[in-house]
Amino acid sequence: MRKRIRYISLLIMILTLMLSGCDADPASQTDRQGNSEVKSETETTEEEPERTIEPENEPTSSEDYTEGFGDTFSGTTNSPENAREDTEETGTEDENKTVNSKDVDLIFFMGQSNMSGAAGDATLAPYVSEEAGMEFRAVSDPTTLYPITEPFGINENRPGGLNEYPGAKKGSLVSAFINEYHEETGRKVIAVSMSMGATDMDTWTSAGVTSDIKQRFDTSVSYLKNNGYTIGHMYAVWLHGESDAIKGTDPEVYRTDLDNIMRPLFIGGVRKVFLIVPGRTIDYRDIFLDIINVQKQICAESDYYALATTVLTRVSTEYMKDQYHYNQHVLNMVGIEAAKAVAYYTEHNVEKIVYDYREKEYIIQDGVDENSQPKDEIIDLSGININEVY
């Protein structure tokens, strides 16, 4: 019996010692486990620099991308599509407020192939923000406004009216014009295409084209008014005359025809037509001279017309793609120069003093004080690098 008690006691002691051994050094066990874990973290940290984990939602600096001008001028900035995405993603509250503004200026871009952009290049035309301007497609989709893209007006074709052949429009002066106009005035442009290459005044005064012009005008004005827009100013910009000069149209007939074309627009509310006078062909410097002179006379004698720019009369032929057509860099320049004149009128209700590049003198219209406004610096076109400057 004692043996059995002793044996039981011995077993109890052994069990007690065993249990004490398991719990006797918990700190040392934790250290061993802890040392093992620290070693593992150290090994991971040594390998970590090979891959970088970017923090989530890190703000992008505005310097990480170029905003604004497409790849025009230097050829290195974002495409219009990318620029538009950047603007939408990073636009400020003020920008969004301006984009949604219902106070707009309606401008019709009219003329023949150099207005259409027959030798342009859409990839070299500047990006236009929706804050600066939108296109109303009066023919192809008169139900909404579209962002300005080049070739401007490529979809605006009406059989029997102004109807370009496929591929005729490649990139226009419109985008550069709208950017400059918006920069000068802060106003948003709704732009409407009314152009077609190789069209003389017989075409423009034909029943089909005059009907088309009136439909585009009426549809544009109705859309804006019916959708709550306020039209602050209505203008037309006209670049035309090459076909009539080559054909030998009498300058007085040209003047009468121009009035007949524009009369429905004046009645509808267009305040002024701004004329961009044509330039030359590669072979003949003076071939458009009669049309140029009558256009300048029209602007001098009628309050309904004003000169936009004469810069094409002095542009070097190296910037022409063929006998009649200017490349995109010239179109960008012309758009900017024309917009300055239109913007000045918008801001001051007075015609801008325009430099006559052909005659090398300033044109000062009746009633305009020569000293009442600053004159633009004359562009030295003989040695200009248009790609760099514009």
In a domain, 231, yes or no: yes
Place of tokens 């050094």: 25
pTM value is 0.75
How many alpha carbons fall within 13 Å on the CB side of residue 32? 5
| Location of structure tokens 């984990």 | 53
> 53: burial class by Cβ within 10 Å (0-12, 13-18, 19+)?
exposed
- What gap in Å lies between CA 144 and CA 224, rounded to an integer? 9
- Does a structural domain hold residue 69? no
Return the ∠ at Cα 113 (arms to 111 and 119), rounded to 5°: 140
Place of tokens 């900017």: 336
Any domain includes 56 = no
Q: Tally the domains of the chain.
A: 1
Asked whether residue 150 is domain-assigned, the answer is yes
Is residue 117 assigned to a domain?
yes
Write out the chain's pLDDT in tens, 390 residues: 444 445 455 455 544 444 444 443 333 333 333 333 333 333 333 333 333 333 333 333 333 222 222 222 223 222 344 344 444 443 433 443 344 479 999 999 999 999 999 999 999 999 999 999 999 999 999 999 999 999 999 999 999 999 999 999 999 999 999 999 999 999 999 999 999 999 999 999 999 999 999 999 999 999 999 999 999 999 999 999 999 999 999 999 999 999 999 999 999 999 999 999 999 999 999 999 999 999 999 999 999 999 999 999 999 899 999 999 999 999 999 999 999 999 999 999 999 999 999 999 999 988 888 899 988 888 877 655 555 544
Domain containing 261 — which CATH number?
3.40.50.1110
Q: Is residue 34 part of a domain?
A: no
176 within domain boundaries:
yes
Q: Does residue 226 fall inside a structural domain?
A: yes
Containing structural domain, residue 184? 97-389
The residue among 104, 89, 117, 195 whose CA lies nearest residue 145 is 104
